[in-house]
Amino acid sequence: MDLNTDLDNDETRKTTGATSPGHPVFCTIIPPHILDNLAQSDDPARHEPARRTLEHDHARRTRRREVAARAATPGEPGADADKPNRTIYNAGHQETLPGTKVHSESDGPSKDASVNRAHAGLGATFDFYLKAFHRKSIDGAGLALDATVHYGQKYDNAFWDGERMVFGDGDNDLFKDFTIPVDVIGHELTHGVTQYTANLDYQGQSGALNESVSDVFGSLIKQYALGQTADQADWLIGADLLGPNVTGKALRSMKAPGTAYDDDVLGKDPQPATMEGYVKTTDDNGGVHINSGIPNHAFYLVASKLGGKAWERAGQVWYDVLTGGELPKNATFADFAKLTIKAAQARFGTGDEHEAVVKAWSQVGISAK
C-alpha cells in the first residue's frame, strides 16, 4: 500500500461519521485517546471528569454533524478590521453557550484570571496574524473574537465550535485551566482560519493536516509572543497545561513526536514522526490527532534548518499554501508537501528555503513527486 495516498479515506469516512465539506467542525485540543485512557482509571477523581468530557464531546460532535452545511465566508472588512474586537463570556460551570457576557474589548482587567488570559490569548493570536501575514482576524476581514470560560464541571478540554473559543477549567489534577497556554488558544483559533480558507475535511490525512496546521501556527503564535527564534523554541504544544501529577512535558512535541508524555494514567504519546509509523485507525476521525505528528515534524525540520524567526520563512510557506486556494479539502500529505515545495520556490526561489522544504518531506517519508 502506498502510504502517501489517503489510506482508505472513503472507508474512514464511512466508519467515523466524519463531517462532510462545508459543515462546521467541532475541534478539541485534548484528543480522544488521552481521555479514553483517563476514563479507564480506577480513581473516580480522575475517571469521572474524563468520562463526562468524552460524553460531552461525542454529543457535541454529533450535533455539529447534524448542522446544515454552510460555507464559512468572510464579510467585508470594516474601518477597524485591523483592531481586535474581543468579548468574553462566563458559562458559570454550565454547558450553555455563550454564557453571560463579562468582558468587552474596552474593559479594563477583570478580577477573574481566566477572563484576562482568554482576552490576552485572543489578542496574541489576532496580533500574530496581523503583523506576520497582514491577516485581519481569523477570517481576514476583522471578525469579532468571542470566547467562553468556566465551561462545564471539571471539563478537561478546550474547543473551537465554528463560532467561538470555549475553555474548560480542567480537573486541577492532570489538567490545569485551559486558558493558560497561549499556543492552545492559537491552535483552536487557527481551526477558524482553516475554516475560512482551505476548509480541510476533518478526516484521514486531510484531518491530520487540519490538526497539524493548528499546531504549527499555535506554536508560532507562542514563539511570536515570546520573541523566540526557532532554536529557542521548545516546539511543544500545551507545555503549561499538564498538572504536576503527570509524567510528561506537553500534549505533543513537534520536535520529537511520540515523546511528549509517558504517564501511567494518560498513557504514552502515540504520535509518529514519519510515515513508517503511520497509524491506520477509525478512531478520532481516522487518527487526526495522532498522524498530525508527521506533518508537524516536517514543519519543525524546515524551521530548524532555516533558523531565525520561524514565521518569517517556514511559516510564510505554510500560510501561503493554507490561503492560496490550491489546497483541496481532502488533501493528502503528499498534496500538501507538493504545494509547500511549490510555494517555497514561488516566494523564495530555489535557495535554502526550497531545499529545506524538499528535504524535510523526504525525511518524514513523504514523496512529493
Mean predicted lDDT score pLDDT of the chain:
88
Q: What is the pLDDT of residue 11?
A: 36
**Once rounded to an integer, what is the mean pLDDT over residues 84-91?**
98
> How far apart (Å, rounded) are the C-alpha atoms in residues 55 and 153?
13
285-336, pLDDT tens digit by residue? 999 999 999 999 999 999 999 999 999 999 999 999 999 999 999 999 999 9
Active site annotation includes 355? no
Contact by Cβ (8 Å): 147, 118: yes
Check if the beta carbon of residue 266 is closer than 8 Å to that of residue 34: yes
188 assigned to active site = yes
Give the angle subtended at the CA of 186 by the CAs of 21 and 71, to the nearest 5°: 20
Task: Catalytic residue, from 23, 33, 119, 289: name it.
Answer: 289
User: Looking at the predicted structure, is the pLDDT value of residue 158 above 90?
Assistant: yes
Return the C-alpha torsion angle 324, 365, 262, 226, nearest 10. -40
Reply yes or no on whether the pLDDT at 19 is more than 60.
no
Q: Which of 23, 33, 188, 354 is catalytic?
A: 188
Q: What is the mean pLDDT of residues 21-43?
A: 74
Q: Is the pLDDT of residue 79 over 90?
A: no
Of 39-43, 116-120, 127-131, least confident by mean pLDDT is 39-43
Percent of the chain residues topping a pLDDT of 70: 88
- Which of 41-45, 138-142, 230-234 has the lowest average pLDDT? 41-45
DSSP 8-state code for residue 19: P
Q: Report CA-CA distances (Å) from 20 to 172, 201, 325.
A: 36, 7, 19
Who has greater pLDDT, 78 or 110?
110
Least confident of 53-67, 110-124, 230-244, 306-320: 53-67
Query: What is the arithmetic mean of pLDDT over 243-264?
Result: 95
Domain boundaries, the chain: 9-21+201-363
pLDDT at 71 over 60: no
| CATH T-level assignment (fold) for domain 9-21+201-363 | Neutral Protease; domain 2 (1.10.390)
